[in-house]
Amino acid sequence: MSFLPEEVKVYEALQELGIAWLRHEHPPVFTVEEAEEHWAGIEGAHCKNLFLRNKKGNRHYLVVIESAKQADLRKLNGLLDEDRLSFGSPDRLRKHLGLETGVGLAVRADQ
């Protein structure tokens, strides 16, 4: 199994913290419903990733929440002291995280 350079940093950090992990891959998906097809049989919390940017576009956030929950962007605005959050474009996602839209990775980490 080969890892992207960006992934290696995450796995090294988990290893340094003594957290065992198992990686599951699936093809790009755009909804939780699509992802659920690939999660069958995988124990643990299933999450979704939301790539957000502030109004000026000079700060970006990766918000990870339980798949069944809806993000309250207004509440996040207050918690992060932002004026207005919106979803980042595919170009921004590629530039800042090196990812394509719909690409996800399931990682099970046990302590």
Q: What is the pLDDT of residues 38-91, one digit of tens each?
A: 888 888 888 888 999 999 999 999 898 898 999 999 999 999 999 899 999 999
Identify whether the C-beta of residue 27 lies closer than 8 Å to the C-beta of residue 92: no
The count of other CB atoms within 10 Å of the CB of residue 97 is: 15
- Kind and range of the H or E element at 29? none
CA–CA dist 35, 37 (Å, integer): 5
According to the model, what pLDDT value does residue 111 have?
47
Q: pLDDT-derived band of residue 102, with 50, 70 and 90 as boundaries?
A: confident
pTM of the model: 0.75
How far apart, in Å, are the Cα atoms of 26 and each of 34, 40, 103? 10, 11, 8
According to the model, what pLDDT value does residue 110 have?
53
